[in-house]
């Protein structure tokens, strides 16, 4: 009896979630950025280790991850501002980047500003990160497969190279080469091509 009730409640919740997210689903399947949104969805599901099909996974992410809603609304542009009224995004996560490659994952996302010139594919950004301007025009370029950990700051006209990682609370104001790990204030290199080093940027 209890199992049947639980199943009924789950089905009822899924039904109402589907109704709530019908406009989102319409955009998911019909927007010009569909392939990028599908790639975002797949990467998020892979990271949180859920083997859901596209539609179910998309609804699950919308329902449970406000950071995903922010990214989705960024992808769809003006319609996202309207959808935010019925299904709010995370209010302390700001995405104002001109170009973001597919597969961006935002973990937690609280108090995070993403204001780069561009971000490549499959990047990972944690909470309380600031990626932003040093003046009215200079902002960072983040290449592919970059991880920026909690509390890090990447400021000004710098480039963070492919496959590099910015450690927690690091402050990056100079270019980071490919395949490096940087930490500290100001940031310096502690790993290059998988080998431990200690080098200034």
User: ∠66-70-72 over CA atoms, to 5°?
Assistant: 110
pLDDT at 87: 87
**113-134, pLDDT tens digit by residue?**
999 999 999 999 999 999 999 9
Judge whether 76 and 57 are in contact, CB under 8 Å. no
pTM of the model: 0.89
Give the pLDDT confidence of 97-115 residue by residue, as tens digits: 999 999 999 999 999 999 9
Domains of the chain, with CATH numbers? Answer: 2-86 (no CATH), 93-200 (2.160.10.10)
End-to-end CA distance of the chain: 64
* Residue 21, pLDDT score: 84
Closest by Cα among 132, 174, 127, 164 to 149? 127
- Binned at pLDDT 50, 70 and 90, residue 2 comes out as low
Q: Look at residue 91 in the predicted model and tell me its pLDDT.
A: 95
């Amino acid at each position: 009896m209890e199992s049947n009730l639980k199943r009924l409640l789950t089905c009822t919740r899924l039904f109402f979630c589907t109704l709530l997210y019908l406009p989102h689903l319409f955009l998911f399947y019909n927007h010009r950025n569909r392939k990028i949104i599908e790639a975002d969805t797949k990467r998020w599901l892979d990271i949180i280790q859920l083997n859901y099909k596209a539609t179910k996974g998309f609804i699950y992410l919308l329902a449970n991850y406000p950071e995903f809603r922010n990214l989705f609304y960024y992808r769809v542009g003006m319609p996202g501002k309207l959808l935010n009224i019925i299904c709010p995004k995370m209010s302390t996560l700001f995405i104002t980047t001109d170009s973001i490659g597919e597969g961006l994952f935002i973990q937690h996302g609280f108090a995070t500003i993403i204001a780069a010139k561009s971000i490549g594919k499959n990047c990972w950004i944690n909470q309380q990160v600031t990626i932003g301007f040093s003046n009215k025009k200079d902002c960072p370029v983040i290449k592919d497969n970059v991880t920026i950990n909690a509390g890090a700051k990447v400021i000004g006209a710098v480039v963070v190279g492919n496959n590099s990682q910015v450690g927690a609370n690091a402050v990056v104001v100079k270019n980071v080469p490919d395949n490096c790990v940087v930490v500290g204030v100001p940031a310096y290199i502690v790993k290059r091509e998988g080998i431990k080093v200690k080098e200034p940027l």
